[in-house]
Chains A and B, each alone.
Chain A
Amino acid sequence: MIFSVHVEVRLRPGIADPQGSTVERALPTLGFDGVSGVRVGKSIRFTIEAPDEATAQAEVADLCQRFLTNPVIEDAAVEVQAGAPVGAAS
């Protein structure tokens, strides 16, 4: 079975994010007020083949832990959906 996966890699709470701070500091100059807590992460998308969703989830969790994130400073929010991604060529 094909599964579409979206992994959002985030800096763990408490880890400094100079990119986020820089973006946040620039916003008032651009006319955007009231924005705070800016954190910049990464979005990684892929498809994975697995016999069932539980296996797909487990493999993706392993992939995140071992490679897509550095657990010292990052964690991941994962979405796994059955089927090919919307808009992808069949």
Chain B
Amino acid sequence: MVEAVSLVGGQAEVLWHGDPTVKGVDVVVVPGGFAHGDYLRPGAIARFSPVMTAVTEMARSGGLLVGVCNGFQVLTEAGLLPGALQKNRGLKFLCATVGLRVERTDTALTRDVAVGTELQIPINHFEGNFTCNLETLAELRAEDRIVFRYVDNPNGSVDDIAGICSAEGNVVGLMPHPERASSALLGSEDGLPLLRSLVG
């Protein structure tokens, strides 16, 4: 993630999970990984990391916050985004490049990307199945808070949802990895527009 952000001209500062502040950064990204071994539930323990107090405060005051994969799981566990990520419908760990459609512009990740743009972005997850109740789904749809959908739903996510944002639009979470589509060497550069929006 640090490499990808630097690639598009951003200055990346790594925050430690024990840090008491977010050190005045403009955007916080909670990256992918396997925090605490995904024990109990993915992100369930990491959401209580000391730094999350400062991250939550920043998000609640309108600061920009993005969660990728395990980061998205942390944000749903922390209540900063609605819904939950469950095991993939096919019960297989998915390691693939999938088609993603941008459904909403003007978020931290999609500022300069048109609605309807299709991007090839990798997914690497076992618990990527976005789930929420019908009221939440209706709310997400009515408020235009679905930011990305899968072109061909790989994991059973409701309404093909790959990423969503908070009511104010400042918090975005998605299961796919834009930072892993940041160079021809990685197989796709389709993540660059999203990263540029982040850094722009």
Contacts and interface: CB of A to CB of B under 8 A. Distances in A.
B15 interface: no
A19 interface: yes
Contacts, number: 32
Q: 6 smallest A-B Cβ distances: which pairs?
A: A72-B84, A73-B84, A18-B91, A70-B84, A70-B41, A18-B87
A15 interface: yes
A55 interface: no
Interface residues of A, number: 10
Contacts of A81: none
Given A70-B41, A70-B44, A72-B84, A16 B91 contact: no
Nearest to B84: A72
B86 A16 contact: yes
Interface in A49-73: 67-68, 70, 72-73
Given A16-B86, A73-B131, A22 B77 contact: no
Interface string B42-74: 001000100000000000000000000000000
Interface residues of B, number: 19
Interface string A8-50: 0000000110110010000000000000000000000000000
A7 to B, nearest CB: 11
A19 B98 CA distance: 24
Contacts of A18: 87-91
Contacts of B140: none
B149 to A, nearest CB: 19
B83 interface: yes
Given A19-B91, A72-B76, 9 more contacts: A16-B131, A18-B88, A67-B40, A67-B44, A70-B84, A72-B83, A72-B131, A73-B84, A73-B86
Contacts of A73: 84, 86, 131
A15 B156 CA distance: 12
A19 B131 contact: no
B40 A68 contact: yes
B132 interface: yes
